[in-house]
Amino acid sequence: MATLMAASPLLRRYRVTPRGAKASLTEALRERDLVLAAVDRGAVVGLAWLIMTRALDRAAYLRLLLVSEEHQSQGLGAVLLARAERDARVSGCRHLVLLVTKTNRRARSFYERHGYTHVGDLPGFVRAGIAESLYLKTWRA
């Protein structure tokens, strides 16, 4: 998973290194976050990292959704997202929130197609000089 993260051009913009990726994944497992991995012939080709919270009216936070460049546009991102949403619902969460780099048009249209609403932008929130767009999906009946 750390290898997949460190190979991502998107995450390189956030200065993610193999060592840094391993440290954040170790923290994710220690904190019992939900980390879903898609595996193809022994290699991790996709992952979804979800943090369940009681904050924001019981929202789950999709910390990362990533599919390797070679495996994109085959429906894997949609499967990982659907599985993450299902697990969030089962855990009692009522919303899913996520941040996406504002300039990442492909990911933004991906989330919009999957029912996410653009709430607003957060300039320099994660890293100086990079704006994040905040997205929300609510399924509270």
Ligand X SMILES: CC(C)(COP(=O)(O)OP(=O)(O)OC[C@H]1O[C@@H](n2cnc3c(N)ncnc32)[C@H](O)[C@@H]1OP(=O)(O)O)[C@@H](O)C(=O)NCCC(=O)NCCS
User: Judged by CB under 6 A, does residue 72 bind ligand X?
Assistant: yes
8 A C-beta contact, residue 46 and residue 71: yes
Whose Cβ is closer to ligand X: residue 91's or residue 103's?
Answer: 103
Whose Cβ is closer to ligand X: residue 12's or residue 89's?
Answer: 12
User: Judged by CB under 6 A, does residue 16 bind ligand X?
Assistant: no
**Residue of 76, 122, 131, 134 that binds ligand X (CB under 6 A):** 76
What is the spatial distance between Cα 52 and Cα 136, in angstroms, rounded to a whole number? 14
User: Judged by CB under 6 A, does residue 73 bind ligand X?
Assistant: yes
**Residue of 4, 47, 64, 84 that binds ligand X (CB under 6 A):** 64
Q: Report the C-alpha dihedral over residues 70, 75, 78, 83, rounded to 10 degrees.
A: -100
Element (H, E) at 132: strand 131-138
**Residue of 21, 28, 107, 116 that binds ligand X (CB under 6 A):** 107
Residue 1 neighbours by CB under 8 Å, 6+ apart: 21, 25, 35, 37, 44, 47
**Residue of 24, 53, 104, 138 that binds ligand X (CB under 6 A):** 104
8 A C-beta contact, residue 96 and residue 137: yes
Kindly determine how many residues on this chain lie close enough to bind ligand X according to the rule CB under 6 A.
Answer: 17
**Closest residue (Cβ) to ligand X?**
77
Strand pairing report for 95-101 and 131-138:
antiparallel
* Contacts with ligand X, residue ranges (CB under 6 A): 10, 64-67, 72-78, 100, 104, 106-107, 110
